[in-house]
Structure 1
Amino acid sequence: MTAATKLLDEMCHLTAQSLTAMDTSEHFKVLKLLGEGSYGKVMLAVHRKRGTPMALKFFPRESTSLFSFLREYNLSLSFCTHPSLTRALGIAYSTPSHYVFAQQAGLFGDLYDVILPEVGVEEDCCQRVVSQLCGALSHLHSLGFVHRDLKPENVFLCDSACRWVKLGDFGMVKARGTRVPEVWYSSPYCTPEAEVARGNEDSSSSMNDVKEDEEEQKKTRVWVSVESSTDSWALGILTYAMLTGSHPWAETVADCRSYLKYWEWFDRVKGREDELDVWAEPQTESAQDAIDLHGPDRGKKDSPPVAPQFACFTPLACSLFLSLLDPRPLLRGQPEDAPSFLGGDWMMEKERARLEEERKKSRGKGAIRNVKEMEGRGER
């Protein structure tokens, strides 16, 4: 446990004694819903006296422990000092039904809003976002924390061109090294090492079977250590989604055909048969054994064919993906390594031209839709 994680626990115990009850409407003018999920909801509000815009995050008291609420609040308030991390504003209170704290508001929505399906975002925009997220994740990791929930919906925009983004939603954050039950879920963001828990998801059963199911879960539950490599994997998937507007595979499992294609490519490029194990330890590799994706052998007959879903990327981008999406968590690249891949082209010229044409069509459709909406309003 790092000094930061110890201090966070102490802060939670202290603030638990000073949390006050307050009426939201008395101090804030609530404007609109910004987002909601299993945690609760986030509302855009303005402070009645100061006129300051902020996001109020509401956690239902019936489903939220006071400690977990205070942990997220104090983490955001005191440790999210990086400019690309969403910070709490020092306002936390309770109502009869909710725990609430105020944080910086992403007034331009989130990253999910700007990624066009099957098109993505422009490459320079993607590289700006990746650069900022690398800094944000590296900051958290340096303090001993792992975010564990990096996805487009949790990256908030401070302007429409993604020149400034902020990673938020710290409800899943854990200290590195914490032992937690492994959870598998059907998503490309789920890491390959989580497949060991694939059969452990909840299934419907009759009330008579509940006790038996609980005993079975205790037997089959797999406990793992929280590691920063989880964030690296999510960063790789998010980068792919930004560049293409799609995902490289539906599920990170051995029987998913598209993931298997990637695994085969990765095996040819980086793995040896006795090493391609998800828990492999780092081993030295001679220069003769290594395959250089930037070198003169790229494209020759005996060089490894790229997985189909990665064929649109340059060797530089392929190297980035092979680093962040290493199936072996102990060998997976870290966010602080990713900036070395910035600056060069990530998309093949032909693919870049195709995507730009698609964006023009999307912008044209958007303009026509806006004109029709304005005409409709004029008629009314």
Structure 2
Amino acid sequence: MMQNSNPSRTINTGLIGYGFGGRTFHAPVIDRVEGLALRKVVQRHGYSALERYADVEIVRSVEELLADEELELVVVATPSTNHYEVVKACLEAGKHVVVEKPFTATSAEADALIELSEERGLLLSVFHNRRWDGDFLTLRGLLQQGTLGDIVDVEMHWHYFDPVPSHRGWREDDAPGTGIFYDLGSHFIDQALCLFGLPDEVEGDVRVRRPGGTAVDYYDVRLHYGTGLKVRVSSSKTVREPGPRYIVHGTRGSFVKHGLDPQEPALIKGLQPGDAGYGVEAEALWGRLSCVKDGLQFSGHVATLPGDYPAYYRNVHAALTAGAELAVTAREARDVVRVIEAAMRSSAGGGGRVPLAPAGAKLGAGEEVSSQK
């Protein structure tokens, strides 16, 4: 993967896709990470990358971008419905790849890409940027310090109000890899696996609830662990008044957190990492901690750590230039898809618990998993 250790080396980078994800999460973050240089963008329509990045070259096809031998890293920010095909083409062209989440529509596709990247000696990572949300960083710190004791129940919720299907854009299509479960659920599942590892069993309720809808717009999924821990992840597009984002209970106390990380709205407004106030959450949204330790009781708010999406790309640069261990591996992202598939199997079977299939396992007859229900 790494050719010569040179942490100051600049990695010429190409971006495939300048839709919402490409222009909001990838281009502005790459632009602020030392050692990464955004050189080319595949853009066919919509906003022009030249409006913000005057030195970028616009090309109209993936093939044209991949023909540039000076590009080492390619970021794939296309719809998840074609991640497999585009990432495969990038790897076959000898490029290191970062791909937007969800990794692929199926774990079989993910396994094939992992095998190809390893055969070619190329970096392959998935942009699970929500590991660097400030609220998640704060929760992770509390758990690492043992503040809450042994964790027994966790809830992660991401609700909003969009009761009428728009049918605008690929996310509302009935196609593999679309819908709110793949889109938002993949973030929560990744966070759960980071904190607690793979579950033993999964149960899911995944469905289309809005009249006229075709893509999944609701999921309520539970991950069960042999220790007795239960992690619930859920999202719905028909919640006008969302409750807490995180509810975490342990043997020493509880942590409850409302609100969404401020980095996305900041990026949408045109702010970039490093600008004043970027990633800093308002005090009114700090999480509430109630705990007991060594006979002392505490109840109060915990300042949310600043969010840091650039940390993801700093790690990618360090992996390519200095041999650093990848923060988000393709195998970890593949495991997220495995959990999604297990939840789909559970939902299709009436919602009971199903074991998590081993990595690389092929489904038997009657176990095919559709991306929708």
Normalising by the residue count of structure 2, what TM-score does the alignment of the two structures yield?
0.25
Structure of greater Rg: 1
Q: What TM-score comes out, normalization by structure 1 length?
A: 0.25
Larger helix percent = 1
Whose relative contact order is higher, 1 or 2, with alpha carbons under 8 Å and at least 6 apart?
2
* Structure with the largest fraction of strand: 2
